A and B are shown apart, each in its own frame.
Chain A
Amino acid sequence: MSASDSVKLFNGGVAALDSMPVLPYDLFADRVLREFSTAARVAAYFGVLPEEPGEGVELFAIMARERHGNFVIYRTRVGETFQSLTPNCPQLHLFEREIAEQFGVVPSGHPWLKPVRFQRSLRPGHDAWGRDPALHPVVGDMAYFQVEGEGIHEVAVGPVHAGIIEPGHFRFQCYGEKVLHLEISLGYQHRGLENLLIGGPHPGTVMQMETIAGDTTIGHMTAYSKVIEGLGGGEAPPRAQAVRAVALELERLGNHVGDIGAISGDIGFLPTASFCGRLRGDYLNMTAAVCGSRFGRGLVRPGGVYFDIDAARADRLRAALDRARKNTIGALELFLDTPSVLARLEGTGKVSRADAEDLGLVGVAARACGIARDGRFFFPNGIYRDIFDDMIIDENGCVYARTRIRQREVDVSLALVSRILDNMPAGPVRNAPQPLRPEALCLSLVEGWRGEVVHAAITDPNGRFRRYKIVDPSFHNWSGLAMALRNTQISDFPLCNKSFNLSYCGFDL
């Protein structure tokens, strides 16, 4: 492979756009497929409108290579149509659908070409499905997959649900109680975030970043901050990195504990459900003790953080953590030591390792299938370069494995927070922001609690965003949930859904 085909970047790295050759599509496809065959996987694959008005769309494929600890980026340009890579590489299926929807170019040969978020094409007059722009797109309006035959029935759930959760539409094709196929149709929360960011950063951009997925505020905001810092040619001071890591781990703790509580509630096991509900609040309150917001809004900013953890605050955090630790470990052990709980969780909603690899799952869902995939370990940045060595992997890929991963990661995160608090680097917590480098691409990956959060920015000659791409872990993992449901009982869906606990708004953007 010649070095000039592509650009390789470390996490948080920047490359000038003109250092990236625009490959002909055939060569691009060949190179991308070859990367996949050497255990690379897609981190982001997106279209960009060309700078000078003209035909077609530029495509950037960013692939993560755990083995090398870096990313490789290929760039190409396509006209109205291009040969789909999905048949050879299923993990691209959603990315290609997204490109088709956003730019009205058709990936020919795509086996499952349907809208993703029901958004309008960025190129007026170009629609991948040739629909009437006056009538389309309407959310949820597409041809759903259907199974026919005697005894087959269809169950539609949502977008309005019985609980207080986000809207999403699920179609089950069932034979009795058995699910043959689940199709998930989202887009109800589409806010047009990526379009709003073109020409940015605007004064409101930070608020938008914090609300990409409200439960991953710190994860997304840290990823964004690193993109801005990378394009500005600097890094946040070490003390700020430590504060970010504390906040990120507290976010992980709160969500993992809350998730286990929700799983417990779903199977009607009350003690852990009640305890975890309260403990989640304790962890959120620790974040609030740092910055005044339970979800960490307003804490992380490009250049550093707005709030320091001084000695007095660190002592209070440590005390709160000690109180919560004992209860958390007790509640989780009680849960996973109860035979009826194990009987309910083990073997339910299984995703095979091969499917997980093919679909490019990330985060908890991938680690539960025995795949070593943790951004803190393979693509560390900031303080994680020095302190993180405890990646948790389980096997079997069932609900039990996903629960167990969370339980063990809670232990790891508790230890991490204590360690960081004991070894806070001295110094300032914020650098002055620098102007962004023009005509460059910057990429950052943060391992949020759900999985890897990938942000990539491409700047124009004035140092404004020409394109800002956000990939929430949910974007990779929703297909995993659909696969987990194959040939299981339909009554297991809520439990599987909770064990993935994916974000709707992080997907819908």
Chain B
Amino acid sequence: MITRLFLHLLVLFALAPLLPGVIGKTKALFGGRKGAPFLQHYFNLWKLFGKGLVISRTTTWIFRTGPVVGLAVPVIASLFVPFGSLTAPLGFNGDMIFVIYLFALSRFCTATAALDTGSAFEGMGAAREVTFACLAEPALFFSLIVIARLTGSLSLTEMLGPGLLAGWHGAAASLILVLVCLFVVVLVENCRIPFDDPNTHLELTMIHEVMVLDHSGPDLALIFYGAAMKLLVLGAVVVRVAIPVNLGNQALDLGVFILGMIGLAVLIGVIESIMARLQLLRIPQFLIGTILLSFFSLIMLLR
């Protein structure tokens, strides 16, 4: 149990910052550039942790809770999510709802921290983030309900366990739709193109980035680290649904999981390279379409 916990956290802390590096490298290749090294995100975190903090006088303790919760939530959530065939260290019946609302808690704290600065930009960003999250949530729920129905469990460990492979034999059509919906949710939740542009410097178009404009130094590092972990945790669900194999050898399984995660990062990088951002007005329409898709996959399963 303790080794499992330790291994889980090791994968989380060590692997998470690699994913933004892979995405960045993929985008650079598409742009005809060499790009920053794969380990750039680790260097950035190291740099930021060594820096001082600048805190606006208009803010209160609420402002400081945002980054802390932003890091704590993915760490706790990861303990309930299996990494490939490595089972999760913790789990109880219904923990899938717990995990979803853990992320909602983190969003709440980030949004209130943004509102705490009193800046017009950050208020706008918070409003957008919360709106889009509201629309992404039903899609996530419907998708997980499909899996729960297939595997007969409400705990993520079992939902993403061996039962899933059997589900692919019986209800592949539903699961393909679920996979698409989950992937869209990963893109929205992690502020990737076509929903948000993590590289933009334009305050007026930002969604997530504008909410953390006032954070600096170690606080910003916590946010970056938390964001990378969130990508890993949510990505782990997608990768597991896509590759529900158990090789029986722990090292091999871990290797499959890591390769799957890197593949996911490359896919995100490719999408970011070949697509432009959606107009802000179109994002809700797109997300409602995703909700319908996930609903449809449930209907196909229940028919």
| Partner-B contacts on A (CB < 8 A) | 153-157, 162-163, 177, 264, 266-271, 273-275, 278, 338, 340-341, 343-344, 348, 489-495
Out of B27, B203, B280, which one reaches A270, CB within 8 Å?
B27
Contacts of B124 in A (CB 8 A): 155, 177, 490
* Chain A interface, DSSP helix/strand/loop, else mixed: helix
Cβ contact within 8 Å between A153 and B279: no
* Chain B interface, DSSP helix/strand/loop, else mixed: loop
Q: Does B274 contact A (CB under 8 A)?
A: yes
Contacts of A266 in B (CB 8 A): 200, 202, 205
Contacts of B204 in A (CB 8 A): 155, 157, 490-491, 493-494
Cβ contact within 8 Å between B205 and A269: no
Cβ contact within 8 Å between A270 and B120: no
Q: Does B282 contact A (CB under 8 A)?
A: yes
| Partner-A contacts on B (CB < 8 A) | 27, 30-33, 120-121, 123-124, 128, 193-194, 197, 199-205, 272-282
Cβ contact within 8 Å between B31 and A274: yes
Cβ contact within 8 Å between B277 and A154: no
Cβ contact within 8 Å between B277 and A489: no
**Given A266-B202, A274-B31, is A341 in contact with B276 using a C-beta cutoff of 8 Å?**
yes
Contacts of B194 in A (CB 8 A): 268, 340
List 20 A–B pairs whose Cβ atoms lie within 8 Å, in order of A's numbering: A153-B120, A154-B120, A156-B120, A163-B201, A177-B128, A268-B194, A268-B197, A269-B275, A269-B276, A271-B31, A274-B33, A278-B32, A338-B274, A340-B276, A343-B276, A343-B278, A344-B277, A348-B279, A490-B124, A494-B204
Contacts of A269 in B (CB 8 A): 275-276
A155-B121, A268-B200, A495-B205 are known; give 10 further A-B pairs, CB within 8 A. Answer: A162-B201, A162-B202, A177-B280, A267-B276, A268-B193, A268-B194, A269-B275, A271-B30, A273-B31, A494-B202
Contacts of B274 in A (CB 8 A): 271, 338
CA distance A343 to B200 in the complex (A): 19
5 shortest interchain CB distances as A-B pairs: A274-B31, A494-B202, A268-B197, A267-B276, A269-B276
Cβ contact within 8 Å between B120 and A155: yes
Cβ contact within 8 Å between B273 and A270: yes
Contacts of B278 in A (CB 8 A): 340, 343-344
Cβ contact within 8 Å between A270 and B279: no
Cβ contact within 8 Å between A270 and B30: yes
Contacts of A268 in B (CB 8 A): 193-194, 197, 199-200, 272, 275-277
Contacts of B199 in A (CB 8 A): 268
Out of A154, A156, A340, A489, which one reaches B280, CB within 8 Å?
A489
Cβ contact within 8 Å between A491 and B31: no
Q: Across the two chains, which residue of chain B brings its CB closest to A347?
A: B279
Contacts of B203 in A (CB 8 A): 157, 162
Q: Across the two chains, which residue of chain B brings its CB closest to A270?
A: B31
Out of A153, A273, A343, A493, which one reaches B282, CB within 8 Å?
A343
Cβ contact within 8 Å between A274 and B280: no
Q: Across the two chains, which residue of chain B brings its CB closest to A278?
A: B32
Contacts of B128 in A (CB 8 A): 177
> Closest approach, in angstroms, between the C-beta of B14 and any C-beta of chain A?
28
**Given A155-B124, A343-B279, A489-B281, is A270 in contact with B202 using a C-beta cutoff of 8 Å?**
no
Cβ contact within 8 Å between B279 and A489: yes
Q: Across the two chains, which residue of chain B brings its CB closest to A272?
A: B31
Out of A267, A274, A275, which one reaches B277, CB within 8 Å?
A267
Contacts of A344 in B (CB 8 A): 276-279
CA distance A187 to B203 in the complex (A): 22
Cβ contact within 8 Å between B32 and A275: yes
Contacts of B197 in A (CB 8 A): 268
CA distance A278 to B32 in the complex (A): 10
> Closest approach, in angstroms, between the C-beta of B213 and any C-beta of chain A?
8
